[in-house]
Amino acid sequence: MSKNVAVIGSGSWGMALANHLTEMGNDVKVWSFTEEEKNLINNERKCMFIPDMVLDEKIYCSNDVVEVVKDADYIFHVTPSKVTRNVFKQYKDYVKNKPIVICSKGLENATLKTLDEVMLEELPSAKIAAFSGPSYATEVVKHIPTAIILASKNDDVLDEVSSLLMNEYMRIYKSRDVIGVEVGGALKNIIAFCAGICAELNLGTNAQSALITRGLAEITRLGVKMGANKETFFGLSGLGDLILTCSSDESRNRRAGRLIGKGKTIEEAKKEIGMTIESVENIEVAKKLAEKYNVEMPIVNAAYDVLYNNLKPKDAVNKLMTREIKFEME
């Protein structure tokens, strides 16, 4: 049975999901921040960030978020993490009992909260799910097989949203560990950023493998302290997404790291990539969380020093490699 679905955000992932949801037989309205993107979607059936994609005729785009949300059965929220609260405030009075699926990967800088915590703070009655995992938008629109995790504490939401999304090229796995799925999705971007620096420095696959492994250890240590299940980080939203984003320049976070490795400033990197770089937004948050929970995160600290304390990438690598010898599982 066809459903009315709201997609809040018209970036590459938002539009890939919008197209997928229409292909599943649903009617989709998209909210875009800009008039330019709205006209491109409605008049030319194109996505600014995936030029080869031809959008389904059933997708309608508006700059009025209330228009998009008010008649929806489900809401998919796909904005950058730094604007999640402000955008949610604009439509929270129209949510009622509609499930909200958070498809953004990030944390709120000012409060150090996960995005589900942000929404529940604004609307305690909200039925929240988090959608994460190794999923390049460009591959989803080409119907390349993709496995994603959907997390919620509400079993009805898990069942309904899974049925809304799953077909022969998008497989859904369910989880009740919302914190773990959100933390894994947010922090893997930082490790991908570091992987880009390593790639630009020609450090090879030995170093990349070490980075992924030790990066996962840092993410897991912090996530567990925040209340997540350790096992979650060895699944799709942790290890799965780490392998994806650390291994390919399709990842904007890895591309940003490459640019920093070339000696560009972060402002130059942002301008060249032209999209939100969640790793840059969240490195400072991760450092503050590590301090708050007293968790050792040397890779995150090194990335912070490169971005904010003028540490040269090569010196950051040397600093990491010459740390005190430890047992691996400490």
CATH code: domain of residue 162? 3.40.50.720
Both 60 and 167 in a single domain?
Answer: yes
Q: CA geometry: angle at 149 spanning 147 and 150, to 5°?
A: 135
- The pLDDT of residue 286 is 96
Final residue before a domain boundary, out of 150, 176, 202: 176
Annotated catalytic residue, options 29, 105, 188, 287 = 188
Residue 270 has pLDDT above 90, yes or no: no
Question: Are 197 and 218 in a shared domain?
Answer: yes
Could you give the percent of the chain with pLDDT greater than 70? Answer: 100
Q: Pick the last residue of a domain from 151, 176, 201.
A: 176
**Residue 189: its pLDDT value, please?**
93
**Residue 328 domain-assigned (yes or no):** no
| Distance of alpha carbon 302 from alpha carbon 4, whole angstroms | 45
What rounded mean pLDDT belongs to the chain?
Answer: 95
Do 150 and 110 lie in a common domain? yes
Q: What is the pLDDT of residue 8?
A: 98
Interval 27-38 mean pLDDT: 97
Assess if residue 267 is contained within a domain: yes
Res. 151: pLDDT tops 80: yes
Instruction: Answer yes or no: do 149 and 192 share one domain.
Output: no
Whether 14 and 95 share a structural domain: yes
**CA R_g for the chain:** 19
CATH number of the domain encompassing residue 279: 1.10.1040.10
Helices (H), 54-144: 65-69, 84-91, 115-122, 137-140
Are 282 and 146 within one domain? no
Mean pLDDT of 150-156: 97
One domain for residues 56 and 123: yes
Q: Which of 290, 227, 282, 300 has the alpha carbon at shortest distance from 107? A: 282
Same domain, 79 and 198: no
Mean pLDDT computed over 114-126: 97
Range of the domain at 292: 186-321
Domain boundary among 143, 176, 209: 176
Q: What is the pLDDT of residues 281-294, one digit of tens each?
A: 899 999 999 999 99
Return the axis-axis angle of helices 298-308 and 278-292, rounded to nearest 10°. Answer: 130
**Residues 24, 159 share a domain:** yes
Residue 265 is assigned to a structural domain of this protein:
yes
* Same structural domain, 160 and 195: no
188: annotated active-site residue = yes
* Number of independent structural domains in the chain: 2
**pLDDT tens-digit map of 164-206:** 999 999 999 999 999 999 999 999 999 999 999 999 999 999 9
Q: Please indicate, yes or no, whether residues 76 and 20 belong to a single structural domain of this protein.
A: yes
So what's the pLDDT on residue 123? Answer: 97
pLDDT score for 122 = 97
Q: Which residue has the higher pLDDT, 330 or 90?
A: 90
125's torsion region: left (phi>0), alpha (psi -120 to 50) or beta?
alpha
Q: What is the pTM of this model?
A: 0.95
The verdict on residue 218 lying in a domain is yes
Same domain, 133 and 172: yes
pLDDT at residue 149 tops 90: yes
Task: Please indicate, yes or no, if residue 236 is contained in any of the structural domains.
Answer: yes
